[in-house]
Structure 1
């Protein structure tokens, strides 16, 4: 019975760490840039866009170029966010991850 109790205790500990991680993830900010810092996009830990900055110089460019740079900056921010959330989850799970679980980012 002690082995089962230990397993339950570990599961409760992991659950508490995951809840703490989820709160920390909400506070994460990830910034993506493109076009030599002409476009900057900031995402929060839930993947929501919080801010977009366009340099004065980029505004003079063709619309299609600006659109491509916005997409590139967003993808960069999304990639950084994925890395940061993965690191946070690894801290909580001791680097083991959760088999079969894929984060929605």
Structure 2
């Protein structure tokens, strides 16, 4: 139970730690938003750049694959490159956020912010 004000001091300390953690998470989210990852398919014939937030920033298609007969192949390569880029961006974002949560012993799969 609370004896004197000792318990309130512990609560104030916990609140300060929570506020500090929130600031760290927000800073990490800003860094994640600035991250960029590349994806590719077809041995580099289609490449893309995706941000840590999943926004496609760039798409490059080698002109050698433009042929009406290859339309489906090109579409598949674009999808594969975007998927690869998104997976790479997610990996970078997870690594950045894990720097903030390191040592907190959070349950596996717990996502921040809460």
What TM-score results when the alignment is normalised by the length of structure 2?
0.79
List gaps (5 residues or longer) in structure 1.
none
- How many pairs does the alignment contain? 103
Residue in 2 that maps onto 1:8: 15
Structure 1 runs of 4+ aligned residues shifted over 6 Å read none
Confirm whether residue 31 of structure 1 aligns to residue 57 of structure 2.
no
Match of 1:46 in 2: 53
Instruction: List alignment gaps of at least 5 residues for structure 2.
Output: 1-6
Shift of 1:30: 1.0
- Counterpart of 1:62 in 2: which secondary structure? helix
Report if the CA contact (8 A) 2:54-2:89 is conserved.
Answer: yes
Aligned-residue RMSD, C-alpha = 2.1
Indicate yes or no: 2:101 matched with 1:101: no
TM-score (norm 1): 0.85
